[in-house]
Amino acid sequence: MKNTDEFRKALEHKKLPLLVLDQKWHRLFAIHGKTDEIRNAETELNNLLVRQGKLNSDLKDYKKVKNQLMDEIVQNMEGSDGNASDKEKVRDKDKRMIDELNERIDAAEAELLELPQKMKQVNENLMILSMEYFYAKIKINTQESKEIEEWINQVRIDLKKNIIKKQNRDINNREIYAYLHDICGPQVLDLFDVEMEASDKES
């Protein structure tokens, strides 16, 4: 059995596709299904993909809200109507929200920078688990294929034997009919046929 280090070494400098998005990879498990280890790694990678999508979506929303707040601050500063104290309160509130949004944006961007490496590690681990599974499955498939081939070859031999047996029986029947026809004539042979048909129906 190949070990994990050998598989890991074989993957060095290889650009792997994200296996959970690769339909060819999924089809390789069509007959026997995935092991629990493979399913767990697959779930982990899917969760990272979902997290990446959510962070990108959140980041887009944060930036949109931040731009709206900044526009409000500018409009509030330029406007001459309204109480100065109220404007100051609104401006302070908007600034606090912007500071909070900046923290969320920084955190989301930092996590997004880390995610590709995490996904790469989980994807490589999933590939190693898959390679271990495939290696074992190839050995089993090869053995089963050999057994099936032996069965097929035996069936072919038996078929040939039975074809020869059938041909011999048919030849023997023709010889019997020919002999009886020559000795007894067609009328007696017709009676023999009737007798044979009656016997076949009874059996």
Tell me which of 10 and 112 has the higher pLDDT. 112
pLDDT in tens, 22-48: 999 999 998 889 999 999 999 999 999
How large is the average pLDDT for residues 102-106?
94
Residue 72 pLDDT grade (very low, low, confident, very high; cuts 50, 70, 90)? confident
**How far apart are the C-alpha atoms of 101 and 93, rounded to whole Å?**
12
Least Cα distance to 20 among 2, 1, 47 occurs for 47
How large is the average pLDDT for residues 179-183?
83
Q: Give the per-residue pLDDT at 92.
A: 80
CA angle (41 as vertex; 35, 47 as ends), nearest 5: 135
**How far apart are the C-alpha atoms of 142 and 134, rounded to whole Å?**
12
Is the per-residue pLDDT at 1 higher than 50? no
Percent of the chain with pLDDT over 70: 87
Tell me which of 59 and 86 has the higher pLDDT. 59
Lowest mean pLDDT across 6-10, 42-46, 84-88, 123-127 = 84-88
**How far apart are the C-alpha atoms of 184 and 179, rounded to whole Å?**
8
Tokens describing residue 36: 């629990």
The distance in angstroms from the start CA to the end CA of the chain is 60
Is the per-residue pLDDT at 166 higher than 90? yes
* Burial (CB count <10 Å: 0-12, 13-18, 19+), residue 19: buried
Is the per-residue pLDDT at 175 higher than 70? yes
CATH fold for domain 4-146: Four Helix Bundle (Hemerythrin (Met), subunit A) (1.20.120)
Lowest mean pLDDT across 73-77, 82-86, 98-102, 178-182 = 82-86
Contact 8, 128 (CB under 8 A): yes
* Reported pTM: 0.67
Specify the DSSP class assigned to residue 20: G
